[in-house]
Amino acid sequence: MMILRPIQQCDYPALLKIAHESGHGFTSLPNNEALLQKKIGHSISSFAKSASHPGDEGYLFVLEDSETGEVVGTSAIEAAVGLDDAFYHYHLSKAIHSSRTLNVYKAVDILTLCNDYTGATELCTLFLKDGYRKNSNGKLLSKARFMFIKQHQERFAETVIAEMRGVSNEQGSSPFWQWLEEHFFSMDFPTADYLTGIGQKVFIAELMPKYPIYVNLLSEEAQAVIGKVHNNTRPAIELLKREGFTFNGYVDIFDAGPTVEAKVDNIATIRNAKNFTVTIGENSDETAIMLANDKLNDFRATVAQLNLDETSSELTLPQAIADALHLQAGDIVTATRI
């Protein structure tokens, strides 16, 4: 059984391995031992913290194979971004150049540096090991965060965003960054990405162009990847689109990958999930159901084949599933069809 739960201190070796395997462009999980330890500690304190509004909390989850005890994936939620460190994007928009006298009208795309998502809740750090990219594991890793947000909505902002990994090759070279590096920087993409991941963002404000960039002045290779995702990220962005997330022109400042957004109340899983009172017993297999308890630092979620009667106020769980979710008869479980 695959179980999503909050990260624990003992998960550090697994997190370090995932940080190494995730490769270039995975900014939220840099391969830095001190920072990874700090992330674990910050997550543990965030889950333990009493909060009535979104602040600097960061909730890091791991996906565990209960049969082997192996940690096979990660996902996270940042309650509110940009409150301590500036949170940068480029916004893709249009500028109009026109002259009635010359009978000229031309719309051109421009990229403008901005901090428009300051205070938004961010979905991040989604990674699943190769051998486990099957069944409903990816959906559990991503969608269970919406169950957590639904149960603890006071901890999160009205707007939820997700930065999608942009186009880069196996060596970590980004066509978009290559153009920026040539004209404004003297560091390669992996280095810039790594510095951002460990919180050293001052160089962005110091070196990034202060005025809008005309897209047609970029190299053809850089223009071609604006708003495009890395091949490994395609399943993740398609899942978010089905949840109701949309792309509104905001892209990453390093690889130009798209950032998608949704209002909490418009997210499909949050709308469709329902709370049930737990009863213990046999339940015939019927369809894939995502289940989550309503706890905070003892949060658990899984996917199981169950019969779900959405008109009922009760849901019968086999003892093994109830135990895995740390639930007893009479407790509340949140459930929705995958």
**Active site positions, annotated:** 230
Cα separation, 101 vs 251, whole angstroms: 36
How far apart (Å, rounded) are the C-alpha atoms in residues 66 and 276?
A: 24
Q: What share of the chain is helix, strand, coil (3-state, %, to 5)?
A: 35, 30, 40
Helix and strand totals (H; E) in the chain? 10, 15
Handedness of CA 166, 169, 171, 175 (dihedral sign): negative
Angle formed at CA 47 by CA 328 and CA 21, multiple of 5 degrees: 105
Amino acid in the structure at residue 247 = F
261 in helix, strand or coil? strand
Best CA proximity match to 145, nearest among 162, 165, 166: 162
Backbone angles phi, psi at 197, to 5 degrees: -60, -30
